[in-house]
Amino acid sequence: MLNVDDAILSRRSVRAFRPDPVSQETVAHILEVSSRAPSGTNTQPWKVHVLTGNSLKRVSESVLTAFREEPATHTNDRPHYMEKWRDPYLARRRKVGWDLYNLMGIKRGEREKTQQFHSENYRFFGAPVGLLFTIDRDMGWMSWLDYGMFIQNICIAARGQGLHTCPQASWGQYHKILEKELELVEPEMVHVGMSLGYEDTSALPNKLETVREPISAFAVFHT
Ligand SMILES: Cc1cc2nc3c(=O)[nH]c(=O)nc-3n(C[C@H](O)[C@H](O)[C@H](O)COP(=O)(O)O)c2cc1C
């Protein structure tokens, strides 16, 4: 059993998984534990579609086809980040992107290699379990905050089972395909996805070490 600090500190976004299966009982356990996340007025705004085996393959292939053939026709349901990027967020975004591409040996302008690596998102990076999170689109921003707590709980509870995760906003671009595949009915919309499985420790992208600002950059201690 990991202690809380170890579970948090050992979580990283893993971008290459071993194919070893994860049992439905283990996934159910992680989700049950994670559902203890707090939510404003206990609204619990989360819903999870768990994909494995054939369902994962089917959804993955549908999205990969669109990614290859008609990416420009697919856009996010709503802005994911800042509409107009500025520092310090832009600099942080660029750093993690280039650190990852450097590790992979992908140079500036190598579009095909970049696309190839990006497409791994839509294979859940080879993980045996893909999670697609949905939310009712009329939920307010507090519920989106609740949702983040639930998703973080999954990342941490997964560590308790020796598993790793990668939260993925990238699925949002193909929400129309996913809504069809998952037979979603309004107002249920796709929020984000997540890969879940055992880390391939030998894979290059998993050597990435991300940095964080020191607490002096984001915390103010009032006395
Ligand atoms: C909401 C959210 C969406 C993300 N979307 C993606 C994604 O689509 N693809 C990806 O490779 N990583 C994605 N990430 C992972 C981030 O890049 C990662 O959390 C960040 O660079 C910090 O690295 P770490 O998670 O390894 O500490 C996402 C993370 C979060 C929290």
pLDDT per residue over 137-181, tens digit each? 999 999 999 999 999 999 999 999 999 999 999 999 999 999 999
Ligand 1 atom nearest to CA at 148? 1
Between the two ends of the chain, the Cα-to-Cα distance in Å is 37
Q: What is the pLDDT of residue 71?
A: 80
In this prediction, residue 193 carries a pLDDT of 98
Low-confidence ranges of the chain (pLDDT < 50): none
For domain 4-80+122-203, give the CATH superfamily: NADH Oxidase (3.40.109.10)
**C-alpha of residue 169 to centroid of ligand 1, in Å:** 8
User: Helix (H, G, I), strand (E, B), or coil: what is residue 192?
Assistant: strand
State the amino acid at position 62 in one-letter form. S
How far is the centre of ligand 1, averaged over its atoms, from the C-alpha of 154 (Å)? 14
Integer Cα distance of 134 and 129 in angstroms: 16
Atom of ligand 1 nearest to the CA of 210: 23
Ligand 1 centroid – CA 168 distance (Å):
6
pLDDT of residue 60: 98
Residue to probe by mutation, ligand 1, list 168, 173, 194, 210, most atoms within 8 Å of CB: 168
For ligand 1, atom 18, which residue shows the shortest CA distance?
13
pLDDT for the residue numbered 1: 64
167 alpha carbon to ligand 1 midpoint, in Å? 6
Q: Is 64 buried (19+), middle (13-18) or exposed (0-12) by CB count in 10 A? A: middle
Dihedral of CA atoms 176, 174, 196, 209 in degrees, nearest 10, equals -150
**Which pLDDT score is estimated for 77?**
81
Residue 151 CB partners (closer than 8 Å, separation 6+) = 46, 133, 167, 192, 194
